[in-house]
């Protein structure tokens, strides 16, 4: 009779129990696990535990464990982290589970077969004439998009535009029921269109890369987080596409606070670049002043911008500060602006969620101004001229601003208040008040006033 102790049972847990039961029932021939680190940092002790679990199960039951990077945003991942993780995984599994390491031929992506996608594994420690690499989640982007389209077509998925905060409030809790998404009943055709538009903005696209270069070359972006830069470029591509699709001559954009909540950016620099390129874009869905900007641009053959009437300047009744968050065309600024977080909107959405304000100062020189609105079915606008000066503005003054000398400024401000015009004013370089007054009033029949010349009685 042997006195040797019985061998100790192997490790067991609910995962291994499930694997054993499936293998015993013939459901699968062998397990196929994966270790999916995000390549945005170095491995830590939690990763080591996951490696031991996933490679351990593959080794114990004669299976394979894929090394698959969860690079859901490939443009932000660092090669340094990828290389470090590969080295650490190979070091940790060396001698006990390296024969289970699943890799793929370099550059290979899933192939579609019978309405599904396949990308088989190759054992990483075997001699092969083919260069191998880890799997990447981004390899499957096209497949995931196709799956999502199929779900939308079956009415089992939809594009949701709720903000993260709205989702948190709507998800429900033990003491209250959840609230259905307002977008769950969107028509399938609308969902597919929105989804296609979202997918079209790919960081690998030429349009995306061109917009990124344009933004980087138009302002100091050193303090802008990478994800904010990405979303600014995406927004620029989408607005271009919308303008082309609808053949827009001008645009009014709702610029707060949904866009900050959903995309974590302010669109100021994007709007300024569109203004520079000849597509006037007005803040706060101010369509009337988008039309005024277009008129100014056509008259001056020069970009137009949109500003707010703001503080008086010192004791001079004919001087004030014209200011806005930063949608001015760069050519109307005195130098390279600096992209910053929106210090006003940050009070509502939180700091770091509204980068995109192009802060700086306005180039001194003559300018023409206008503002346009409708009243009882009639179009009304006012016109005037002034000059941006080189007078200093405190460095902590937020946004893009300039000191403006406007003759008879008090009459202009009284006219704005009495006639119900908005606080916005469209501006362009040069003096084009006279041809504008003739075109808008004489040819188009707009109600044109010139408060500097005709003081309100």
**CA torsion through residues 208, 212, 218, 223, sign:** positive
**Does the domain spanning 201-449 belong to CATH 3.20.14?**
yes
Q: What is the pLDDT of residue 10?
A: 64
Average pLDDT over residues 232-238: 90
Per-domain residue ranges for the chain? 14-143, 201-449
pLDDT, tens digit (0-9, with 9 covering 90-100), for 152-190: 888 888 888 776 677 888 888 888 898 998 888 888 887
- Alpha helix (H) ranges present in 107-177? 141-153, 164-170
Average pLDDT over residues 194-205: 70
**Cα torsion at 437, 439, 445, 446 (round to 10°)?**
-50
Report residue 450 as tokens.
């010139």
pLDDT, tens digit (0-9, with 9 covering 90-100), for 118-148: 999 998 877 667 899 999 988 887 788 888 8
Report residue 401 as tokens.
């601003």
Vertex 323, ends 322 and 326: CA angle to 5°?
145
**CA torsion through residues 161, 165, 167, 170, sign:** negative
Average pLDDT over residues 93-116: 91
216: enclosing H helix or E strand: helix 206-218
**Coil vs helix vs strand at 140:** helix
Q: What is the pLDDT of residue 285?
A: 87
Q: Which of 111, 121, 144 lies closest to 65, judged by CA?
A: 121
DSSP 379: E
Q: What is the pLDDT of residue 159?
A: 82
105: enclosing H helix or E strand: strand 101-105
Least confidently predicted of 67-81, 215-229, 294-308, 322-336: 67-81
> With bands split at pLDDT 50, 70 and 90, how would you rate the model's confidence at 150?
confident
pLDDT, tens digit (0-9, with 9 covering 90-100), for 408-417: 999 999 999 9
DSSP 425: E
One CATH from 1.10.10, 3.40.1360, 2.60.40, 3.40.50 for 14-143: 3.40.50
Q: What is the pLDDT of residue 1?
A: 45
Least confidently predicted of 7-11, 198-202, 240-244: 7-11
């Amino acid at each position: 009779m042997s006195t040797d102790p019985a061998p100790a049972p192997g490790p067991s847990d609910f995962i291994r129990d499930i694997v054993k039961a499936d293998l015993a029932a013939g459901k699968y021939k062998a397990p196929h696990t994966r270790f999916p680190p995000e390549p945005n940092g170095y491995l830590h002790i939690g990763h080591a535990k996951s490696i031991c679990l996933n490679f351990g199960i593959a080794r114990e039951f004669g299976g394979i464990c894929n090394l698959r990077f969860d690079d859901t945003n490939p443009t932000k991942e660092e090669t340094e982290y990828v290389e470090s993780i590969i080295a650490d995984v190979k070091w940790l599994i060396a001698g006990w589970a390296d024969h289970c390491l699943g890799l793929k031929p370099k550059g290979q992506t899933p192939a579609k077969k019978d309405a599904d996608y396949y990308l088989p594994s190759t054992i990483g420690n075997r001699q092969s004439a083919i260069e191998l690499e880890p799997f990447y989640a981004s390899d499957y982007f096209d497949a995931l998009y196709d799956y999502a389209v199929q779900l939308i077509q079956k009415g089992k998925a939809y594009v949701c535009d709720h903000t993260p905060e709205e989702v948190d409030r709507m998800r429900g809790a033990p003491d209250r029921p959840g609230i259905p998404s307002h977008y769950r009943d969107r028509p399938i055709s609308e969902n597919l269109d929105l989804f296609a538009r979202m997918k079209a903005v790919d960081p690998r696209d030429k349009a995306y890369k061109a917009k990124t270069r344009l933004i980087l070359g138009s302002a100091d972006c050193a303090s802008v987080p990478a994800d904010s830069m990405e979303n600014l470029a995406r927004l620029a591509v989408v607005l271009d596409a919308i303008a082309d699709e609808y053949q827009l001559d001008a645009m009014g954009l709702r610029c707060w606070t949904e866009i900050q909540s959903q995309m974590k950016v302010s669109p100021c620099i994007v709007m300024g670049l569109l203004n520079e390129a000849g597509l006037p874009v007005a803040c706060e869905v101010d369509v009337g002043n988008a039309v005024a900007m277009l008129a100014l641009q056509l008259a001056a053959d020069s970009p137009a911008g949109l500003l707010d009437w703001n503080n008086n300047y010192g004791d001079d009744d004919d001087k004030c500060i014209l200011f806005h968050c930063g949608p001015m065309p760069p050519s109307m600024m005195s130098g390279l602006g600096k992209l910053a977080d929106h210090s006003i909107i940050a009070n509502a959405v939180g700091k770091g969620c509204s980068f995109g304000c192009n802060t700086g100062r306005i180039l001194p020189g003559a300018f023409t101004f206008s503002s346009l609105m409708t009243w009882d079915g009639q179009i009304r606008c006012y016109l005037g001229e002034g000059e941006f000066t080189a007078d200093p503005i405190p460095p902590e003054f937020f946004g893009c601003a300039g000191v403006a000398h406007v003759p008879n400024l008090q009459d202009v401000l009284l006219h704005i208040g009495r006639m119900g015009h908005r606080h916005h004013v469209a501006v362009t370089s040069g003096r084009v008040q006279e041809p504008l007054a003739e075109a808008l009033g004489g040819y188009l029949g707009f109600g044109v006033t010139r408060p500097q010349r005709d003081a309100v009685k």
